[in-house]
Amino acid sequence: MSGIRKAPLSFYNKILMPRSLILLLSFLGQLVVIVGVILRFDDYFAFFYGASLLLSLAAFLWVMNSRINPAYKIAWIIPIMLFPVFGSLFYLFLGRSKVTGKSARKMKRYENKINHAIAEERRYSMEEYLPALQKTNGEAAIQSKYIADLAGYPLYPDEFSEYLPIGEQKFERLQEELRKAEHFIFMEYYIIEEGAMWNRILEILKDKVAQGVDVRLIYDDAGCLFTLPQGYHRTLEAMGIKCCVFNPLTPIFSFRQNNRDHRKITVIDGYIGFTGGINLADEYINEIVKFGHWKDTAIILKGAAVWNLTVMFLSMWGYLRDLEEDFQHFRPAKKIIVRESQGQENRLSKDEMAYGPSMTTGFVQPFADSPLDNEPVSETVYLNMIYKAKKSVYITTPYLIITNEMVTALCSAAKGGVDVRIITPHKWDKRIVHAVTRTYYKILVESGVKIYEYTPGFMHAKSFVVDDLFGVVGTINMDYRSLYLNFECGVWMFYTPSVLEIKQDFMDTLEVCQQMTEENIKGIQWYNALISSVLRIFAPIL
């Protein structure tokens, strides 16, 4: 791509941006006030300390009896018990994964709307597609039924799926499909940053608004804290682009700030859907260089399965706008789909795609994961794939901060003769997180797992491919924040051509990776290993 390559902001420049500076000063001010109150009433310190101990005990009991992962419990119990005055307060503001009260009831209302919107697809999936999958592969049917039952999103035949192995390809395809939009464009992204990528997309969106297309955008406020000016949603609204900001940051400590919308979704006219790891910022298409070459991936779906992505977006949109809207208005009419990526000329009407006989090119199942339902859907999908593997498990992830259950699954698979390989970044975006990632190498490598680091730069892709049959591409990192705290999404695939495309890209990427052997892992300085081991205790709350 041509054009001026603007230098990314340094960490200190980001901190000194007006909005982030205001938030930082506000939080520091609140801490100063709290400390000042404590010092001012030092005559009553014994009473205050006693109350703090009771609060810490209550927080301890709450954490111990919660349903969260044990490692997450330990990471919070230590600061709660070591710092009884502030530890419990930090947990209340930063540690809870569920919203309560009015927000929880509101979200539950939209979960019910999801169930209603896809009830017909779920019924048909259970009656027709799942039995067809069961005849082909019983283990795949069990996995699919879990996603349908616990995440709520049904299975579909794969009318069209295409794996995109790099951000530049996703960007070109995204522009191409956006220009074809006739009815609506829905976009939901964690990060948007003004630059070559977003500016070009924005011009298309403005053109589509002028043509009468319903254009809607959701972005996460924390994800865009350093990339968009304050009040940017109002700028977009003035252009005719409807915009919502997920969980806006406020200068006041809030219980709600721990959950973020990490999804990356585009839906066009209900026929075409994109998801994957790629945000709308220039580093994702290597227009600028932040951490070397940026490797990321995406998946395109066409056909009935896109309805799952449409419903995901509309439910979040309704929650943010407090809007009652009939999802059925956004069902696409009949349309002809051509299997262009597979080179087939098999043309199917929308009705045939949604309700016709099972197809021979596999199945796809887009799904969402919410931190509010106490069900770790993404982690369970990953674990099931690993435990059911017979030949190979190939994983790409930017962060490898995993639970004991995940460590056990990977090690058991490798010890059982499964070819388990994981690609992580060589150049990090978060130094501490990368240091913690490397603490998992030793036990994995000793068990036979092969670890590779992507030497050209930063690996941001999140993909699984197992036994050349199963695949997942989505937004889900292998860390606690993605698996337990964020709103995420992905596409589970069985026996589709795109599964083999994921594998081929993985094997091609290995050519530019460095394998992490026991020898070079032992070469890490003892003090770095010690610091990383301490940090690993607190990995779940990083």
Whether 136 is in a domain gets the answer: no
499 and 356 housed in the same domain = no
- Least confident piece of the model among 17-21, 411-415, 492-496: 17-21
pLDDT for the residue 353: 38
What's the pLDDT tens digit per position in 214-226? 999 999 999 998 8
339 and 395 housed in the same domain = no
Q: At what angle do helices 377-388 and 404-415 cross, to 10 degrees?
A: 10
Q: Which of 353, 275, 282 is nearest to 312 (CA)?
A: 275
The CA distance from 24 to 14, in Å, is 11
381 and 469 housed in the same domain = yes
**8-state DSSP, 168:** H
What's the pLDDT tens digit per position in 224-254? 988 998 899 999 999 999 999 998 876 655 5
Question: Of 95, 123, 145, which marks where a domain is finished?
Answer: 95
Whether 100 is in a domain gets the answer: no
Please state the rounded mean pLDDT for residues 37-48.
62
352 and 384 housed in the same domain = no
Whether 139 is in a domain gets the answer: no
183 and 316 housed in the same domain = yes
In CATH, what number is assigned to the domain containing residue 482? 3.30.870.10
- Least confident piece of the model among 78-92, 177-191, 351-365: 351-365
257 and 197 housed in the same domain = yes
Whether 485 is in a domain gets the answer: yes
Q: Is the pLDDT of residue 316 over 90?
A: yes
310 and 217 housed in the same domain = yes
| Three-state SS at 15 | helix
Whether 459 is in a domain gets the answer: yes
Q: Which of 147, 117, 87 is nearest to 385 (CA)?
A: 147
pLDDT for the residue 259: 83
Whether 151 is in a domain gets the answer: no
Name the more confident of 58 and 380.
380
pLDDT for the residue 340: 46
Question: Of 317, 333, 362, which marks where a domain is finished?
Answer: 362
Q: What is the mean pLDDT of the chain?
A: 84
What's the pLDDT tens digit per position in 393-434? 999 999 999 988 999 999 999 999 999 999 999 998 888 888
Whether 452 is in a domain gets the answer: yes
pLDDT for the residue 6: 47
207 and 77 housed in the same domain = no
Contact 237, 243 (CB under 8 A): yes
Q: What is this structure's pTM?
A: 0.85
Match 């205050």 to its residue by tokens: 48
Whether 386 is in a domain gets the answer: yes
Please state the rounded mean pLDDT for residues 120-130.
90
Contact 5, 286 (CB under 8 A): no
Q: Is the pLDDT of residue 255 over 90?
A: no
The CA distance from 149 to 151, in Å, is 6
433 and 352 housed in the same domain = no
Give whole-number Cα distances, 74 to 234, 261, 436, in Å.
42, 25, 16
Residues 6+ apart with CB under 8 A from 374: 67, 98
Q: Is the pLDDT of residue 164 over 70?
A: yes
241 and 358 housed in the same domain = yes
| Total tally of structural domains belonging to the chain | 3
Question: Of 362, 397, 424, which marks where a domain is finished?
Answer: 362
406 and 350 housed in the same domain = no
441 and 469 housed in the same domain = yes
Which residues constitute the domain of residue 420? Answer: 377-541
